[in-house]
Chain A
Amino acid sequence: METVDKDKVWKDTLEVLRVSVSDATFGTWLTHTHLSDVKETGGRVVCEIGCNSIFVKSQVEQRYFGLIQDTLTKQFEKPTDLTFIVKPRHEEKQVTTNTPSPLFDQPKINQEEINLATRRSNVRPSFTFEKFAVSGSNQLAHAAAEAIAQSPGNAYNPLFIWGGVGVGKSHLMHAVGNSMISKDTSSKIIACTAEDFTNDIVDGIRNKTTAEVRKKYRKLDALFIDDIQFIAGKDTAQEEFFHTFNAVTSAGGQVILTSDRPPSEISKLEERLKSRFEAGLIVDIAPPDFELRCAIVQIKAEERGIKIDSEIVQLIAGNIDSARAIQGFIVNLFTQVNFKKLELTYDAVQSILGKGNEKNERVIKSNPEDVINIVSKYYSVGKKQLLGESRARPIARPRQMLMYLLKTQLGIPYQEVGRLIGGRDHTTVMHAVNKIQELASSSVDIQEDIRGIKKSL
């Protein structure tokens, strides 16, 4: 059956019905009905008649069922069945005006103010606490940041967050900023990188506007500086930063800094700065563990509006290490889903992952021999011992680490790895790989070790 113009059919039906009933009845009951659905099954037409209240429904159903059925049967030239439901007409719903009244208009203005404030302060609005997944590796840092957001300037001042790339240092820092702005849009906050700060100082010196630069930075409620390690070795910038730091903190402002290493390891950093950083809270964020990566996959996928099964989430999280790479992968997936109309199956995702991995592996294509040497050097364990028989932990753990690296980094099959490590069985290798993977998600030491060795690879 071709699609029916329901309104037209119903209008014609009502015209016919109008002749058979009194004006009052028509006006009271039948004008409050509409044809909400028409279906055809097995040569019969099923019409669903929407009534705008239960009273209309019961009355029309009881009294005018036959009349309506006859009329519709004639119109469709087919036997017709009727069902009745309570359902207001679609158009009637849309009549409601949507101009917000003053009370509900308020938050909108706030949202604009918030947007303005975040733009002014250079805080990234997408970095919020809501979008930050928390697990063992970043729990402490997250708790510290939340405490600061509760009472800026009081809880921990300064907060020094350090960790590798893409672990969420900047995210936490900006989340504090967002939280402060949402509470008070007039908060004076600056979020910048150490590079920006240095450039501002340099510009100030060049244009003889140092005073203005000082004014910009020193009267703040909060100062957030990313990658503070870049300030090391730049004497004027360090001095300027030292005074800014003092000015902000003594006025009760909050300072948050991020870096890729703890202050004690930043070389060429002035002693007085180092000691000031150490006076606050220093927290580190380890690379995300498996569960956290799962959560990140879910958050990122939600942002892009794609639904991913938990099986696939685990597949992705299990194969990609860093949060940024996960984001990149999700973007890739999103594109494939949207433009290639790819279906999100386990196999499809696996094949995309495979493609990505090949590239990665070529980058760290080193010789198994080199890896053995590096591990032996890293743990100060003799090569002979490493490949030997001893099962004491100080020897066995590095050996397991070696097997793990050979398998995951070089992609050597289990059997081959076993052969390389003094002719061991492939099940031994599997156990070792699992063991390290397990430890890597719980022990910071192992994470450190993996990172350290990977760096030297």
Chain B
Amino acid sequence: MKLTVLQENLKNAVTITSHFISPKAQLPILGNILIKTDKSKLILSSTNLETSVSTSIGAKVEKEGEITVPGRIFSDVISNLSSGTIEIEVEKEQIKITSGTFKSNILGVNSSDFPIIPNSIGKNSLTLPKNKFLEGLNKTLFAVSTDETRPVLTGILFVFKGKNLHLVSTDGFRLSQKTIKLEKEFEDQKIIVPKTILLEISKLGSSDDISFSFSKKDNQIVFVSGETVFSSRVIEGEYPDFEKILPKSSVLNVLIDKEDFEKAVKLASVFSRDAGNILKLSIDKNTLKVIAESSTSGNQETNLEVKVEKKSEFDGGVEISFNYRFIEEVLRVISSDDILIEFGGPNTPGKFIDNKDTDFLHLIMPIKT
């Protein structure tokens, strides 16, 4: 195996693949990256047995071949080289890397023990509109649970229904939902996709579309973007019935200037950090008070001018407490200048709506005080 590649290309490919290696795995080869030539391409693959990635870059190949290299070492070497051409030559199980004045020999491992990794899209693929999909991930990923005792919540639920794809995430305290319109219909189904693979996809910057396929038999999903193929197992289990908890009516709607609200929450966080993250919203006529109190450090209150719309059968104000972090996080993904919050009462979830993006919906469960 002998070839020449550009450092910039190789660096990108190695960075992506190095995220999928599992250095602590019992089987040492899982800590390695598989490099393999294919005509005028160099393919790099890695896996941690739950997810895998395979990406290819252009290369000048003189002699074909394949080998696995220790991921950490390889990626550290490649990313620290200066840009320009890199020559890679493999003899037996030694990888010789030459770039300008730099020379290195890395000990590799025969590739025969390396697991088989999907390198193309499966049957029944679907093209996802890239920008909308990435935006959807951005607006849902932050609400995914990190609690491993409830595995189904550690992924995003993909609900295909007619021409719509709903992305849903929840950690049991809040719920994010973003609907994406697809160009063509896909088989109606629900799939729970692990967060890890989606985090990697959300980092993709290239302008290629993303294709998607799901094999029920293999319990595996595949995403392809440009030259990169991601695969992952899907999470088995029953996702909670989220449709049931979406509030159907509200008693009080509040329209708030997003920037002002963000500032007020930021200020309130100074005190609520010591008080179990509790932040109280008190709404009356045309004002919203953002209140935080701490028994050890003091208290604060911000008065905001807001537009309040009351439903006919309801009179009086609402006092409701939230975890300020949840509010902070949802404000970060809302793009419009105004944010609409619908309240159903002090013990029902508050509904946060982006005025410019009607396909987005966020619920936060209040804290009972």
Q: Which residues of A contact B (CB under 8 A)?
A: 23-25, 27-29, 52-59, 62, 85-88, 93, 96-97, 100-104, 106-107, 183-184
Residue in A29, A85, A96 whose Cβ sees the most chain B Cβ within 10 Å: A96
B54 an interface residue at 8 Å Cβ cutoff?
no
Q: Give a binary string over B226-238; 1 marks a CB under 8 Å from any A CB, 0 the rest.
A: 0000010100110
Chain A residues within 8 Å of B241, by CB: 104
Query: A103 near B363 (CB under 8 angstroms)?
Result: yes
- Name the interface size band of chain B: 35 or more
**Please, which residue of chain B has its CB at the minimum distance from the CB of A88?**
B236
Main secondary structure of the interface of B (DSSP, over half): loop
**Closest beta carbon of chain B to A268's beta carbon, Å:** 39
A28-B25, A59-B115, A88-B236 are known contacts. Are A107 and B218 too (CB-CB below 8 A)?
no
Chain A residues within 8 Å of B171, by CB: 101
Residue in A27, A52, A58, A103 whose Cβ sees the most chain B Cβ within 10 Å: A103
B337 an interface residue at 8 Å Cβ cutoff?
no
Q: Which residues of B contact A (CB under 8 A)?
A: 25-28, 30, 47, 49-50, 52, 115-117, 149-152, 170-175, 217-220, 231, 233, 236-237, 240-242, 244-245, 248-249, 313, 347-349, 363, 365
Chain A residues within 8 Å of B149, by CB: 96-97
Chain B residues within 8 Å of A104, by CB: 172, 240-242, 245
24 cross-chain CB contacts under 8 A: A27-B26, A28-B27, A52-B233, A53-B50, A53-B233, A54-B220, A55-B52, A55-B115, A55-B116, A85-B217, A88-B219, A88-B236, A96-B151, A96-B237, A97-B150, A101-B172, A103-B175, A104-B172, A104-B242, A106-B245, A106-B348, A106-B365, A107-B244, A107-B245
With contacts A52-B233, A104-B241, A106-B347 known, what are 8 further pairs, Cβ within 8 A? A24-B27, A54-B233, A58-B115, A93-B236, A96-B237, A103-B170, A103-B349, A103-B363
**Closest beta carbon of chain A to B366's beta carbon, Å:** 9
Among B116, B217, B244, B248, the residue within 8 A (CB) of A86 is B217
Q: What 3 A-B pairs have minimum CB-CB distances, sorted nearest first? A: A101-B172, A28-B27, A27-B26
Query: A59 near B219 (CB under 8 angstroms)?
Result: no
Whole-angstrom distance between the alpha carbons of A87 and B218 in the complex?
A: 8
**Please, which residue of chain B has its CB at the minimum distance from the CB of A59?**
B115
Chain B residues within 8 Å of A184, by CB: 313
Query: A58 near B116 (CB under 8 angstroms)?
Result: yes
**Closest beta carbon of chain A to B46's beta carbon, Å:** 12
**Closest beta carbon of chain B to A130's beta carbon, Å:** 15
Whole-angstrom distance between the alpha carbons of A93 and B28 in the complex?
A: 28
Chain A residues within 8 Å of B233, by CB: 52-54
**Please, which residue of chain B has its CB at the minimum distance from the CB of A29?**
B27
A24-B27, A86-B217, A96-B152 are known contacts. Are A103 and B173 too (CB-CB below 8 A)?
yes
**Closest beta carbon of chain B to A246's beta carbon, Å:** 22
Among A24, A53, A96, the residue within 8 A (CB) of B219 is A53
**Please, which residue of chain A has its CB at the minimum distance from the CB of B114?**
A59
Among B152, B175, B219, the residue within 8 A (CB) of A54 is B219
**Closest beta carbon of chain B to A32's beta carbon, Å:** 8
Chain A residues within 8 Å of B115, by CB: 55, 58-59
**Closest beta carbon of chain B to A135's beta carbon, Å:** 28
Chain A residues within 8 Å of B313, by CB: 184
Whole-angstrom distance between the alpha carbons of A86 and B236 in the complex?
A: 11
Chain B residues within 8 Å of A106, by CB: 245, 347-349, 365
Whole-angstrom distance between the alpha carbons of A107 and B175 in the complex?
A: 15
Chain A residues within 8 Å of B174, by CB: 103
Query: A55 near B49 (CB under 8 angstroms)?
Result: yes
